[in-house]
Amino acid sequence: MKTLSLAFLISTTCLAPAVAQNEGGEPDNYVVVIGAFSSQNNASRFVSQAKKYNIKPISELNKIRGLYYVYIMQTPDKSSAVSEVMRVRGATPFADAWVYNGSVGEVLTKTPEPESVVVKVVEKPAEEVKIVAVEPPPAPVVPEKSEEEKIKEAVEKKTMIIKKGDTETLDYIFFYRDAAVLRPESKYEVDRLVQIMKSHPNEKIRIHGHTNGNDKGKIIKMKPKSAEFFSLDGTVEDYGSAEKLSELRAAAIRDYLITNGISSKRMSIKAWGGKKPLFAVDDDKAEANVRVEIEVLSNQ
């Protein structure tokens, strides 16, 4: 919170609402004052602060007192001025607002009529008033989206190519390390492929599998006829070439599509191993070499 301290002299009564005495020589004019300053600059700064509370303050020199009064109402109706003071005291930080009976600005010449109500006036000493600037509440904290949520949104925005001869990389297909098993966040991409194939029943595709490098090594794979495409539970460990691993990964995509109603006659697979890298095997971006691509063979 920011606090602006403005020192000024004010006159208020000990009663609520307070009515300051008429200075004489003026007609009845009740002014709802929220601050008084010897410096015009301070009065202007006070006006700027006060506007934040849905009021329309005006700064004007009270020539009788030699102070710049900041006020929000002038009225010949005393009760209206008193009501406004009570409202301002309750709804804003200006708890010392008061009613000044007299003119602000040019001195009026009409001789005042006697007051029908006698109000006891007690002058208060000069005091410092602190204006607390009300800042808007902070914007609500929006929880950061998980990686899986980001992938889901990205996949939903993609469009699949359907032109014969074109090839598309399935950007959001991910495999467990050394495994022909999909990670759970890959489901959005393979489900999108299922829907594309269903929407284009004459389309035939080839699924290309790629690895990073051509070294032989451990291969983790699903058991025959297993439907656990997104879990390492129940998998078995084997040993083989990078080409074999890429073949099994492409086959995992094909088998998922078959499980979801796509005819095996519409799909074939091609295993490349590490023969077509996008980056050197030791490059910082080498992970992109591990990928699956879809080639459209026919859309007739």
Q: From 57, 54, 86, select the one nearest 71 (Cα to Cα).
A: 57
- The Cα 98–Cα 24 span in angstroms is 18
pLDDT tens series, the chain, 300 aa: 333 333 333 333 333 345 555 544 445 788 899 988 888 888 898 998 888 888 989 999 888 778 889 999 999 998 988 989 899 888 888 888 888 888 776 543 333 444 444 444 444 454 555 555 555 667 677 677 788 888 888 888 887 666 788 899 999 999 999 999 999 999 999 999 999 999 999 999 999 999 999 999 999 999 988 999 999 998 999 999 999 999 999 999 999 999 999 999 999 999 999 999 999 999 999 999 999 999 999 876
Task: Tell me where in the chain the CATH 3.30.70.1070 domain(s) lie.
Answer: 2-133
Q: How far apart are CA 50 and CA 34, in angstroms?
A: 9
Contact 20, 101 (CB under 8 A): yes
Which CATH class, in words, describes the domain spanning 147-298? alpha beta
Backbone angles phi, psi at 151, to 5 degrees: -65, -45
How much is the pLDDT for 39? Answer: 86
Distances (CA, A) of 62 to 21, 66, 73, 115, 184: 14, 6, 14, 21, 76
Token look-up 């008429």 returns 22
Residue 256 is predicted with a pLDDT of: 96
* CA separation for the pair 293, 26 (Å, rounded): 92
In this prediction, residue 88 carries a pLDDT of 87
Residues of each domain in the chain carrying CATH 3.30.1330.60: 147-298
Structure token digits, residue 84: 């406004």
pLDDT of residue 165: 86
- Classified by CATH at the fold level, domain 2-133 comes out as Alpha-Beta Plaits (3.30.70)
**What pLDDT score does 136 carry?**
63
pLDDT of residue 19: 55
Residue linked to tokens 């710049």:
68
